[in-house]
């Protein structure tokens, strides 16, 4: 297995010994040898991190402009979150939901009050939270709306990303995401994202929910047209359909509001959150809804061994505290506006469009300039870790704790690469 397919040398090559003994090249080889090849990471090994910065075993430092797909909004190793982790690890970590634990109640109340929803159902990964929402919507459809058993339909969108379970990939429009994994769960229909007439036409008396991302992040940082979410809300009301927004990536401050739907001034019926809810430390996700939907779940209907565990709950409470106490939501808004201004001022034939909200920003590379990945590699050589999404788009999503001076430095590197 070659270590650097593009011919570039990794930051340094360790030659000491037969097992991976600490050097980046050895570690990458070991990972490729023993791990399934379901990812194709950049050729960089992270062995330490702090705030916005990560470091490889050779001591090279990089500014993290991906923040683990927004799971590290609070920055790496935030002392308050790590403190909560360590403190809770010395008390109790797991009880299962067969018993109560003393951290779950406070966490549920905090997240419910923060979001304005009456009930919270805790899970671990994002995909599990989405699955939970799908189950809630289907059961609500059958028990409350009166859709005949097994006939409920959920409307999804072309370009969606909601996770990797077999049900969820079944309604992906991405060929590779689906290829080979069928047969898929029925009951999902798909319409173009941003097209309100297509959505209206897809609604019928069997529709139980519309499942959407308020911005399609994995899809290429696609922001829907102005007024789209408001019209989606109105259609859902008109047809007695649940509006279900997946805020796993857009939520918790990333777009300059606590939840991206606040930009539209509407309130969905179901929301899934994850990623930054665990403060970059521990997987914590949740489904948020009011009683009228959440009450469809009865004891035994749904669950998770680790969901709602006290370690995750303690971490999540600290993660939410940090977002609020450090004003990270307003920070994302301010720094986002500044970043847009600077990016849009770059005069480069390699930038087709800059789009997004807050600190969730996509730079689209025109097809005439090739794909985005080589630009990411050049940025990496300048100490910036970025990842392309969907061939043509470079996503910028740094930790929300990033300093203005650090952001300026990052923008200088981006400008240099795009104007070279
Ligand atoms: C990351 C993501 C998910 C899946 O979360 P996992 O924790 O990887 O399962 C679902 N929806 C959106 C919008 C995401 O960005």
Give me the residue spans of the domains in the chain: 24-64+329-418, 79-325
Taking the centre of ligand 1 as the mean of its atom positions, its distance from the CA of residue 127, in whole angstroms, is: 6
> What tokens appear for 85 in the block?
């982790």
Residues with a CB atom less than 6 Å from ligand 1: 69, 125-127, 130, 161-163, 213, 217-218, 246, 248-249, 274-275
- Work out which ligand 1 atom sits closest to the CA atom of 127: 9
Write out pLDDT tens, residues 77-131.
Answer: 999 999 999 999 999 999 999 999 999 999 999 999 999 999 999 999 999 999 9
208 pLDDT exceeds 90? yes
CA distance 342 to 329: 20
pLDDT (average), residues 37-45: 94
CB 335 within 8 A of CB 65: no
- Work out which ligand 1 atom sits closest to the CA atom of 130: 10
Whole-number pLDDT of residue 20: 65
Taking the centre of ligand 1 as the mean of its atom positions, its distance from the CA of residue 39, in whole angstroms, is: 15
CATH topology of domain 24-64+329-418: 3.90.1150
41 pLDDT exceeds 80? yes
pLDDT (average), residues 164-169: 98
Beta bridge pairs of residue 285: 123
Whole-number pLDDT of residue 5: 40
Label residue 390 by pLDDT band (50, 70, 90). confident
Whole-number pLDDT of residue 22: 79
CB 360 within 8 A of CB 215: yes
416 pLDDT exceeds 60? yes
Write out pLDDT tens, residues 343-381.
Answer: 999 999 999 999 999 999 999 999 999 999 999 999 999
Q: What is the pTM of this model?
A: 0.94
Higher confidence at residue 6 or residue 307?
Answer: 307
Taking the centre of ligand 1 as the mean of its atom positions, its distance from the CA of residue 319, in whole angstroms, is: 18
15 pLDDT exceeds 50? no
How confident is the prediction for the chain on average, in pLDDT? 95
Label residue 2 by pLDDT band (50, 70, 90). very low
6 pLDDT exceeds 70? no
Whole-number pLDDT of residue 62: 98
Write out pLDDT tens, residues 243-300.
Answer: 999 999 999 999 999 999 999 999 999 999 999 999 999 999 999 999 999 999 999 9
151 pLDDT exceeds 90? yes
Closest residue by Cα to residue 160 from 212, 110, 83, 85: 212
Q: Write out the catalytic residue numbers.
A: 161, 246, 275
Taking the centre of ligand 1 as the mean of its atom positions, its distance from the CA of residue 72, in whole angstroms, is: 13
8 pLDDT exceeds 90? no
pLDDT (average), residues 219-240: 98
Write out pLDDT tens, residues 231-249.
Answer: 999 999 999 999 999 999 9
Class of the domain covering 79-325: alpha beta
Nearest CA to ligand 1 atom 6: 126
């Amino acid at each position: 297995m070659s270590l650097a397919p593009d011919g570039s040398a990794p930051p340094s090559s360790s030659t000491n010994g037969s097992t991976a003994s600490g050097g980046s090249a050895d570690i990458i080889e070991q990972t490729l040898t023993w791990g399934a090849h379901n990812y194709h990471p950049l050729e960089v090994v992270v062995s330490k991190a702090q705030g916005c910065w990560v470091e490889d075993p050779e001591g090279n430092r990089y500014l993290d402009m991906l923040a683990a797909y927004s799971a590290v909004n609070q920055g790496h190793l935030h002392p308050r979150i790590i403190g909560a982790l360590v403190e809770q690890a010395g008390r109790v970590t797991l009880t299962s939901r067969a018993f109560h634990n003393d951290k779950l109640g406070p966490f549920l109340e905090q997240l419910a009050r923060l979001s304005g929803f009456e009930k919270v159902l805790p899970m671990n990964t994002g995909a599990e939270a989405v699955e939970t929402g799908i189950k809630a919507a289907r059961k609500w459809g059958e028990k409350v709306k009166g859709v005949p058993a097994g006939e409920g339909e959920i409307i999804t969108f072309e370009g969606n990303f909601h996770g990797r379970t077999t049900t969820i990939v079944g309604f992906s429009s991405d060929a590779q995401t689906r290829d080979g994994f069928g047969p898929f769960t029925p009951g999902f229909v798909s319409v173009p994202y941003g097209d309100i007439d297509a959505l209206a036409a897809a609604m019928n008396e069997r529709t139980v929910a519309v499942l959407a991302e308020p911005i399609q992040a994995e899809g290429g940082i696609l922001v829907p047209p102005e007024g789209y979410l408001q019209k989606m809300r109105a259609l859902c009301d008109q047809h007695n359909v649940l509006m279900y927004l997946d805020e796993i990536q857009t939520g918790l401050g990333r777009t300059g509001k606590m939840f991206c739907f606040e930009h539209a001034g509407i309130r969905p019926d179901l929301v899934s959150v994850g990623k930054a809810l665990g403060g970059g430390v521990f997987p914590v996700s949740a489904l948020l809804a009011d009683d009228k939907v959440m009450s469809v779940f009865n004891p035994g209907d749904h669950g998770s061994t680790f969901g709602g565990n006290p370690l995750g709950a303690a971490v999540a409470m600290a993660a939410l505290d940090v977002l609020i106490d450090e004003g990270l939501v307003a920070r994302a808004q301010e720094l986002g506006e500044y970043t847009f201004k600077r990016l849009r001022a770059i005069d480069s034939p390699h930038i087709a469009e800059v789009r997004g909200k807050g600190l969730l920003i996509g730079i689209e590379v025109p097809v005439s300039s090739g794909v985005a990945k080589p630009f990411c590699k050049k940025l990496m050589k300048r100490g910036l870790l970025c990842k392309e999404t969907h061939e043509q788009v470079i996503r910028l999503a740094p930790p929300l704790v990033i300093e203005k001076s650090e952001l300026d430095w990052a923008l200088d590197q981006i400008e240099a690469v795009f104007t070279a």
